[in-house]
A = this chain, B = another copy of it.
Amino acid sequence: MMKHVTVIGGGVLGTQIGLMGAYTGHQVTFWLRSESSIGRTQPKLERYKKMMIDELERSKQLIGNPLAAAYFPKGLIPDPANITVAKIDASIETARQRFEEQIEITLDLAEAVKEADIVIEAMSEDPAQKKQIYERLKAVMPAKTILCTNSSTLLPSQFAEATGRPEKYLSMHFANQIWRFNTAEIMKHEKTDEAVFNTVIQFAEELNMVPIPIYKEQPGYVLNSLLVPYLSAAQQLWAVGIADPEKIDQTWKIGTGAPKGPFEIIDVVGLETVYNIAKRQPQAETEGTIPNQITKLLKEKIEKGETGIHAGKGFYTYE
């Protein structure tokens, strides 16, 4: 088992990764850039600690319900079949204690990584920033340490040389609400050592994640490689006027049993993100094409402020 886990960055995913690390018994160190980063990260940590403990509390109501298997937060309760109220109470107790005792925050990069078995870089998706931090890490990270990036849009080969340890560098991509959407997409690049790849797959299991090994570099990893064409097909039906978004969603939900249809997912992802993807289509700027019609209609909605669930309105209206 990995003992020391260092998380570089205290954003939404970084904090969640660190908390899951501590919850599952690891010693976690956050490296943050400045005092003001600490000021921004602390409230996030408190918020996600509370969400995790609230999820555990709520899960008690699921015990004994024959339909509940799918509803447990698997990152927190990996074995719902054998769960009891007493076990959940013990997990809550453990969570509180580990959040208290097994998490450190430091501004000193050398200090942050000096005992690290694995470092997870969870900075913003800015290649220049990533390269800069990799250069700094190269100077202070022990030779044994594995370095992972949580990037969701950049490929690891782009940075492999900059890390100075291409064979110990790869992607490990987590999803928001890690305690519930507990996949870890683990993607190697051509120079990643096979043993390192396997070690990170095991580490994902230690974190109560379901490891998703990705054997070749793939933009969008697995989830977005499926989501993008699926959401795009739905947007086509809408843009061409074949059917209404709500009806398209109903068809998908009834036909496949899924809890959300494509337009409900678009509202969660946010219309700006979907628009940015649509704009990259080859024909997006060619008048009279479907991709062009899609970008125009999305833009209209964005300009009206209908950008999704966070705005209270997207394809649906939210309270």
Within 8 Å of chain B (Cβ to Cβ): is A280? no
For A68, the closest partner residue in chain B by CB is B67
B-side contacts of A215, CB under 8 Å: 241-243
Give the residues in chain B near A218, CB-CB below 8 Å: 237, 240, 242-243
What is the copy number of this chain in the assembly? 2
Residues of B near A210 (CB, < 8 A) are 250, 254
Q: A229-B230, A242-B222 are in contact. Are A258 and B258 (CB under 8 A)?
A: yes
Q: Which residues of B contact A251 (CB under 8 A)?
A: 183, 185, 212, 222-223, 226
CA distance A175 to B251 in the complex (A): 10
Question: Within 8 Å of chain B (Cβ to Cβ): is A150?
Answer: no
CA distance in complex: A182, B66 (Å): 24
Known A212-B250, A243-B213; judge A237-B257 contact (CB<8 A). no
Per-residue CB contact flags for chain A residues 72-94 toward chain B (1 = under 8 Å, else 0) read 00100000000000000000000
Contact of A243 among B214, B234, B240, B256 (CB under 8 A): B214
- A219-230 CB mask vs B (1 if < 8 Å, else 0) is 000110111111
Residue A164 at the chain B interface, CB threshold 8 Å: no
- Give complex CA distance A71, B212 in Å: 29
State the A residues within 8 Å of B (CB): 62, 65-68, 70-71, 74, 175, 181-183, 185, 210, 212-216, 218, 222-223, 225-230, 232-234, 236-237, 240-244, 247-248, 250-252, 254-260, 262, 265
Of the A-B pairs whose beta carbons lie under 8 Å apart in the complex, a sample of 29, sorted by A's number, is A175-B254, A182-B254, A183-B250, A183-B255, A212-B250, A213-B243, A213-B247, A214-B243, A215-B242, A216-B240, A216-B241, A216-B242, A218-B240, A218-B242, A222-B243, A222-B248, A222-B252, A223-B252, A225-B233, A226-B234, A226-B248, A226-B251, A229-B229, A229-B230, A229-B232, A229-B233, A256-B265, A257-B259, A258-B258
